[in-house]
Structure 1
């Protein structure tokens, strides 16, 4: 470790002594890897199940965004677990080492995930692009794990898992929910209901992500608590990952989307609509999650806290509500 890294590490340790990962992160890493593996397996099964090249291309374009989002979380989760293992006891890697290890762990996860897609057809460039996008997503996720507040990153990852679960459950119940939103026999009513369904999914996902991130940060306190902007960042994190994932899909995976758009004019319109819908969904999740976390932590703030969240003691509230007895004045 260089002298500069040592000074930065010492300063961080003095200021944020409790800012180690709240656990070894094995469970989070297992969930992240399982989610990524499930998305990649589903993508591979869907792609290889198509009988013609055009359907194979469009299926690849549909499957890529979900695999990218899962890879972001998996890369960050595995990197957090590796950093927690290296930080056992009094050991604390320096900034440069932490960043290198976290990025390397994410890259390793990404390369393993990329093999799942590339091996579908090693002669074409299509799956190489998708595999490269998946690897890039996991690498970026790993780099995010080097953030100096590991419990914030862990809370973001769990919030992203909650967002995925909410979306999955709502999609399963879609046929039951759409009629409640006004879906009928006409195309106009079905389009309107689909729009409301997307908004409902984004809002509920943001609420779930923000609340999960807040609760995990509150439970992970170790003598000191975080400032409220970090709670807001944790609440916004799941939506931010969705936006980053969409950005990667549009840039690193742009050739796949362009090829899918060339199948037909209808497919081009569908791809454009889906891309805009994913971005809007990510932004709604981001803002709703941040607002939810801010409101949640705001309920624990006191006038003398100076912006730092603290737990409210129920006994203090009860004593404050009790009537105060004023001693009788003694006349001279």
Structure 2
């Protein structure tokens, strides 16, 4: 049917613009949480199969232990996914991070036995990327599976001036991202990429006497759901409309806007906590209480909307720029409103 064909077309485009291996398979899922879950289920299948265990048939009880390595600043949805897939949210090895939230390669542990390493491409607060060129070779030398949580950051590969941030990530085994972020599709548009479609299918496939069989790709064999909407249509439509150059411009333009926000707020005397390398900005307006008051004031003002966060123990305002509709004028007007509200609450 047409929805399945459009998914195939969109997959080819996605592999191209994101710089993923040509054999990569994909499951169109609800969002980054289910994308992480789907990829981790594939990882579970692979590492336990290598250990002689059929997890789909025999479950996790009695299975060989699997080591899961994450960074200290991994996103909460990754931990939720680890719990759902049976590894547990707390039974992980946490690698220390630097001030930007990047995993410290010099603190990366020695690996042995079935292992899954989870990297982050684009921290939700700072935009930072784990050092894949240093970590992935270590993981591969130990025969570990490497998964990438790239809800925001995976899209850096589509922009020539930001593609360097994704250096080394194509050597991973799976990647999770959201289309509702940089592609600006509606919610319920996650993408679970797995290097080996056979591994993804082994973890997700379903068969029943009443279900038709086909020699072509069956989307139901690559996602947790059997019954689902045709999510690939919005992804296909966004890519078809933007094209390669349009998507590159969207990423580069929003990253430029993030830099402008940081420069303007810093010039006004406020503290920028992160290295603005992607589309995220963290700013404080003094102590934690004052920062919270300014955030509330900006939200009441209504010119723009920014939320609060806590970064390594400090309250901050988080600016995240990813909308196709944002213009230079919007940025300048929003920046003026932020500075005005902050000065009024001084």
The TM-score normalised by the length of structure 2 is 0.24
Higher fraction of strand = 2
Higher helix share: 1
